[in-house]
Amino acid sequence: MEAERADGAGLPSDYGSLTEPVKRELRAVVGDNHFKDDMQTRVTHSYDGTPMLQALPDGVVYPGSTEEVAGVMRILSRHRIPLVSRGSGTNLCGGTVPVQGGIVMVMHRMNKIVEVDLENLTATVQPGLNTKQFIAHVESLGLFYPPDPSSMAVSTIGGNIAECSGGLRGLKYGTTKDYVLGLTAVLASGEVIRTGGKLMKDVAGYDLTKLLVGSEGTLAVITEATLKLIPPPKFKKTLLAMYKDIYGAARTVSKIIEHRIIPATLEFLDNPTIRVVDDFAKLGLPLDMEAILLIEQDGDPETVERDIAVIERVCRGENAERVEVAASEEEALKLLTARRSAFTALARLRPTTILEDATVPRSKIADMVLAINRIAEKHRVNICTFGHAGDGNLHPTATTDARDPEEVHRVEAAFEEIFEAAIALGGTITGEHGVGMVKAPFLEWKVGPAGIEMMRGIKRAFDPQGLLNPGKMFAKSARRRVVIDRG
Amino acid sequence: MEAERADGAGLPSDYGSLTEPVKRELRAVVGDNHFKDDMQTRVTHSYDGTPMLQALPDGVVYPGSTEEVAGVMRILSRHRIPLVSRGSGTNLCGGTVPVQGGIVMVMHRMNKIVEVDLENLTATVQPGLNTKQFIAHVESLGLFYPPDPSSMAVSTIGGNIAECSGGLRGLKYGTTKDYVLGLTAVLASGEVIRTGGKLMKDVAGYDLTKLLVGSEGTLAVITEATLKLIPPPKFKKTLLAMYKDIYGAARTVSKIIEHRIIPATLEFLDNPTIRVVDDFAKLGLPLDMEAILLIEQDGDPETVERDIAVIERVCRGENAERVEVAASEEEALKLLTARRSAFTALARLRPTTILEDATVPRSKIADMVLAINRIAEKHRVNICTFGHAGDGNLHPTATTDARDPEEVHRVEAAFEEIFEAAIALGGTITGEHGVGMVKAPFLEWKVGPAGIEMMRGIKRAFDPQGLLNPGKMFAKSARRRVVIDRG
């Protein structure tokens, strides 16, 4: 295998073509209506939520069952054609851009809640199911599925699993990984595996379930998932703490945890984010504050009241200018919804929005905010920072213009330094968005050459032909972001 | 590679010998005092907590640091000598029996708590640290590390991580996997990798942390772990529910969960277990009951009182004969300690005790207990059943005599049927004890041929020479237990 023909995972990348006979085979599996290769469909699936990345697939397939996915995969495996499986494509790491062409597999037809098991508190669902719809259904049964990525109104459970999505409730309740008990998945060969089950404990062999969660479609195509549900909290209370001193806000984060309180949500918004969110959601937030913490605690009423009282004291102790408890559930929901809209609100500022995902130990939040601001200033770029401060998971977000290469270059240089700063603080290059294409050049910074070599070995074991989501997670070498145009 | 020379993972098993020059190399790394090959030391490390399995290692090494582990591993890798790393060897799956000889690496010198980080609520520890000692230290700082395997008075954190140990608090708090945030590990090549960190979220590449937890020493040698700590519950209450109807007890388990209550502990003991535990711990338990549930709830006082009241009602609704709330924390602790002693107590009955680990969805507990009793009767073997009923994790335990091959054969036949029954009920062959040698022949029943092939691929990627704990997890073929004598 020549070096030029190897991809980042050390796998061959001399793929087969999607010829007419292959298309006929695919149509025979999924039905004529569920394979498309017209230009409009191909263009529609050439990009995802990530700015500045685009590559045309050769065809798009919409399977209706695990068996159809397996049938498609057997065909693609025989003809060495790459596959990118995707849900709504809300990811921000270029995770579903078909950089090697081939087939994009859209899971939207497989969108059923197969079962909610009230005795075992599990739900079995198909990957194309919309996250928010699933959460609402579960709540209507008096149960709770905590992972709540900001994209949940659009995203799918399958996408959440592929990326190991987090969300606002991650601090107390964990991320998608903590709720996936079992998976049905189609391997690159077309074989079907079933991992885990309705089991709270299972140590039969290596944990393929947790390995597949967050594997970004590079190891298998997930076609069904058994998820853990939990009893919902009985009561919630939401508090806004407003600071003129941004580092006081950051310090508050670890102080709260030091007081042995794990809030359900502990969000941070800096001044530029406050401004755009308020302009978008008309909340009447004070625009002269340097930072706001949005804190929610849930549980039994007595516990929540006690915790909120302590949190309030901690905020004031760290020089919060104002601390306000939401007067009603509606007001609290409005605040959380506004926070979820931060990305959308920021996106209105300038043509291109690049939202990053650096994560540090929560004790380093203040240092990280300081580093981000210093780096933004150095490179003369506009970066707003918000995020899940309780998890140490910040989303520094640059508003820029993809048509200005010089400015984009400065933005990329700034983010490179931000990743470096996160690593230096004991953090990681991505807390919940995934590696995809965007972070691939930086993965080695976090996991080291030996770590990346083990990951490549796993990839080769699952996908020896390199067909599943090629070009993701593993970079050939470069450290810089690229705009791809295969069209 | 000839089939005869391949082990269960499809790797070569023609190992090199521990010659005098190699011993000198090892002594140069760890110091003369920390390598031993006298017969007494070798015999002492030829078995673990599992009955009827024994194999002599060629030497025993006691490293003092990650660097020494790496140095040892580089030597063994060069000479193709297998390594079994171990803590106290309390596992029950033959996980640390050196079936291919070679080196046993005992981690007891690496037993330090490197750091407890009160801001991030993490602890960084060495693998040889005793579990109970660690828990006590953490509690003295007002924090909580939930995984509490019954062996914790003897076991080590490294062993817990290798096996992904559970315990009595698993139902509400999860198992070891849920508390490992980062690892330092030495690969088969001697290279060192660092995974995760003091990070609540990290999706940089495949989740090597969770992959290594429960990998039973077959992928790497863990030399340091960063663990998650949580705030401790403020209050606990313990309840005993006693049943003449064993299935009423089993039904109670899922009924409690259906009431949206997740107790901290929900243990089941059948009549034979009640008798031996009472005889051992002198608790005055009623010996005419068919089953006892030992239920603990923790949290804030108001919540606990409310939950315990509901649980009491549920127990009575399922025909509990008596329901008693422990009068004091001392009484509760005595009950939990007695439950933890079940294995020890049963071990006094007859010369050989085989404790198994079948796990089912919790709604199937009643069916599983029924199946175990039917199978025990069919094979005329004495099986007591107890376990973590809330997790669906039962420990059917046979008391037998290894010197009676005919009876041992019947016990093995019975367990084979029990595993089959667990799988048929949507369960698994092991919930918290691991695969090791004992379950290796049954692994395919749970994960299927394609699943096992993916696991073999992972093994080959990490350990291409097959040096790390060979003969574990992957069976060549047999389904039956074997008594090995390499001595």
pLDDT at A312 over 70: yes
Q: What is the pLDDT of residue A334?
A: 85
Nearest-CB residue to B458 (from A359, A435, A461): A461
Are B306 and B298 contacting, i.e. CB atoms less than 8 angstroms apart? no
Confidence of residue A329 (pLDDT cuts 50, 70, 90): confident
Mean pLDDT of B386-399: 94
Q: Domain holding A141: CATH number? A: 3.30.465.10
Residue A480 is assigned to a structural domain of this protein: no
Measure the CA–CA gap between A303 and A258, rounded to whole angstroms: 17
Q: By CA distance, what is A261's nearest residue in B?
A: B231
Q: Is B74 on the interface with A (CB under 8 A)?
A: no
Same domain, B181 and B326: no
3-class secondary structure, B107: coil
Same domain, A278 and A354: no
- Which residues 337-376 of B are in CB contact (within 8 Å) with A? 359-363
Residue A4 exposed, middle or buried by CB count within 10 Å (0-12, 13-18, 19+): exposed
* Backbone φ, ψ for residue A130 (5° rounding): -70, 135
CA angle B355, B361, B365 (to 5 degrees): 60
Q: What is the pLDDT of residue B158?
A: 98
User: Which residue segment(s) compose the domain that B172 sits in?
Assistant: 1-232+437-487
Mean pLDDT of B115-132: 97
Mean pLDDT of B83-107: 97
Nearest to B438 by CA among B92, B138, B155: B92
Measure the CA–CA gap between A393 and A395, rounded to whole angstroms: 7
pLDDT at A480 over 50: no
Nearest to B126 by CA among B76, B61, B67, B190: B67
Nearest to A18 by CA among A104, A89, A93, A118: A104
Q: Is B451 on the interface with A (CB under 8 A)?
A: yes
C-alpha neighbours within 13 Å on the C-beta side of residue B475? 20
Are A227 and A127 contacting, i.e. CB atoms less than 8 angstroms apart? no
Residue A315 is assigned to a structural domain of this protein: yes
Measure the CA–CA gap between B437 and A190, rounded to whole angstroms: 30
User: Using one digit for the tens of pLDDT, what is the confidence trace for A119-169?
Assistant: 999 999 999 999 999 999 999 999 999 999 999 999 999 999 999 999 999
Q: Contact B203/A163, CB-based, under 8 Å?
A: yes
With helix as H, strand as E and coil as C, how does A226-283 read? EEECECCCCEEEEEEEEECCHHHHHHHHHHHHHCCCCCCEEEEEEHHHHHHHHHHHCC
Q: What is the pLDDT of residue B203?
A: 96
Mean pLDDT of B384-397: 94
Q: Is B284 on the interface with A (CB under 8 A)?
A: no
Measure the CA–CA gap between A103 and B50, rounded to whole angstroms: 51
Give the Cβ contact number of residue B431 at 10 Å. 30
Q: By CA distance, what is B445's nearest residue in A?
A: A204
Same domain, B222 and B259: no
**Domain boundary residue among A228, A259, A290?**
A228
Q: Contact B191/A450, CB-based, under 8 Å?
A: yes
Nearest to B186 by CA among B361, B65, B359: B65
Same domain, B49 and B82: yes
Place of tokens 């953490």: B138
Q: By CA distance, what is B260's nearest residue in A?
A: A231
Q: Contact B175/A201, CB-based, under 8 Å?
A: yes
Are B161 and B266 contacting, i.e. CB atoms less than 8 angstroms apart? no
Give residue B370's identity as a one-letter amino acid code: L
Measure the CA–CA gap between A238 and A336, rounded to whole angstroms: 9
Residue A14 exposed, middle or buried by CB count within 10 Å (0-12, 13-18, 19+): exposed
* Backbone φ, ψ for residue B268 (5° rounding): -120, 135
Query: In chain A, what residues touch B258 (CB-CB under 8 Å)?
Result: 118-119
Measure the CA–CA gap between B151 and B156, rounded to whole angstroms: 9
Measure the CA–CA gap between B99 and B437, rounded to whole angstroms: 9
Same domain, B182 and B104: yes
Nearest-CB residue to A201 (from B203, B205, B391): B391
Nearest-CB residue to B199 (from A118, A214, A427): A427
Place of tokens 């790393």: B85
Q: What is the pLDDT of residue B5?
A: 52
Confidence of residue B4 (pLDDT cuts 50, 70, 90): very low
Give the Cβ contact number of residue A97 at 10 Å. 30
Same domain, B114 and B185: yes
Where is A6: in which H helix or E strand?
none
Residue A441 is assigned to a structural domain of this protein: no
Query: In chain B, what residues touch A231 (CB-CB under 8 Å)?
Result: 260-262
Are B228 and A225 contacting, i.e. CB atoms less than 8 angstroms apart? no
Q: Contact B446/A254, CB-based, under 8 Å?
A: no
Per the model's pLDDT, the better-predicted residue between B45 and B247 turns out to be B45
Give the Cβ contact number of residue A243 at 10 Å. 26
What ipTM score was computed for the predicted complex, to two decimals? 0.95
Q: Domain holding A246: CATH number? A: 3.30.70.3450
Nearest-CB residue to B434 (from A175, A203, A461): A203
Measure the CA–CA gap between B103 and B45, rounded to whole angstroms: 10
Measure the CA–CA gap between A430 and A434, rounded to whole angstroms: 6
The Cα-based distances of B39 to B81, B85, B109 in angstroms read: 19, 19, 21
CA of B8 vs chain A CAs: smallest distance (Å): 13
Are B259 and B252 contacting, i.e. CB atoms less than 8 angstroms apart? no
**Tokens for A57?**
């697939």
Q: What is the pLDDT of residue B103?
A: 98
C-alpha neighbours within 13 Å on the C-beta side of residue B50? 29
Looking only at the bridges linking them, the beta strands covering B320-325 and B235-243 are antiparallel
* Backbone φ, ψ for residue A203 (5° rounding): -120, 30
Q: Domain holding B268: CATH number? A: 3.40.462.10
Q: Is A141 on the interface with B (CB under 8 A)?
A: no
Same domain, A118 and A219: yes
Mean pLDDT of B337-365: 91
**Domain boundary residue among A339, A354, A377?**
A339
**Tokens for B349?**
């009955």
Q: Domain holding A415: CATH number? A: 3.30.70.2740
Same domain, B461 and B357: no
Query: In chain A, what residues touch B261 (CB-CB under 8 Å)?
Result: 231
DSSP β-bridge partners for residue A228 = A122
Confidence of residue A485 (pLDDT cuts 50, 70, 90): very low
pLDDT at A102 over 70: yes
Same domain, B23 and B167: yes
Nearest-CB residue to A203 (from B164, B198, B452): B164
The Cα-based distances of A305 to A310, A329, B19, B426 in angstroms read: 9, 14, 68, 42
Same domain, B45 and B122: yes
CA of B156 vs chain A CAs: smallest distance (Å): 18
Mean pLDDT of B142-150: 96
Give residue B377's identity as a one-letter amino acid code: E
Give residue B413's identity as a one-letter amino acid code: A
- Which residues 101-130 of A are in CB contact (within 8 Å) with B? 117-122
Q: What is the pLDDT of residue A337?
A: 85
Q: Contact A170/B434, CB-based, under 8 Å?
A: no
Same domain, A362 and A397: yes
Measure the CA–CA gap between A442 and A198, rounded to whole angstroms: 36
First to last CA, chain B: 27
Q: State the maximum Cα–Cα separation within chain B, in Å, rounded to a whole number.
A: 71
Same domain, A320 and A351: no
The Cα-based distances of A31 to A23, A64, A103 in angstroms read: 11, 10, 16
Residue A443 is assigned to a structural domain of this protein: no
Residue A319 is assigned to a structural domain of this protein: yes
The Cα-based distances of B411 to A429, A482, B414 in angstroms read: 52, 63, 5
Average pLDDT, chain B: 93
User: Using one digit for the tens of pLDDT, what is the confidence trace for B218-277?
Assistant: 999 999 999 999 999 999 999 999 999 998 999 999 899 999 999 999 999 999 999 999
pLDDT at A5 over 60: no
Mean pLDDT of A295-316: 96
The Cα-based distances of B420 to B1, B400, B424, B442, B448 in angstroms read: 33, 21, 6, 9, 13
- Which residues 151-170 of B are in CB contact (within 8 Å) with A? 163-164, 166, 170
Where is A301: in which H helix or E strand?
helix A301-317
Percent of chain B with pLDDT over 70: 97
Beta strands in B107-148 (DSSP E): 113-117, 122-125
Query: In chain A, what residues touch B360 (CB-CB under 8 Å)?
Result: 199
CA of B432 vs chain A CAs: smallest distance (Å): 6
The domain total for chain A is 4
Give start and end residues of each alpha helix (H) in B386-483. 405-424, 443-462
CA of B104 vs chain A CAs: smallest distance (Å): 22
Percent of chain B with pLDDT over 90: 87
- Which residues 11-50 of A are in CB contact (within 8 Å) with B? none
* Backbone φ, ψ for residue A343 (5° rounding): -60, -50
Where is B346: in which H helix or E strand?
helix B342-347
Nearest-CB residue to A207 (from B198, B203, B210): B210
**Domain boundary residue among B433, B449, B465?**
B433
Sequence-separated (6 or more) residues with CB below 8 Å from residue B80: B14, B15, B16, B465, B467
Query: In chain A, what residues touch B171 (CB-CB under 8 Å)?
Result: 200
DSSP β-bridge partners for residue A243 = A291, A320
Are A180 and A116 contacting, i.e. CB atoms less than 8 angstroms apart? no
CA angle B90, B91, B93 (to 5 degrees): 150
Give the Cβ contact number of residue A143 at 10 Å. 19
Q: Domain holding A21: CATH number? A: 3.30.43.10
According to DSSP, residue A144 is labeled B
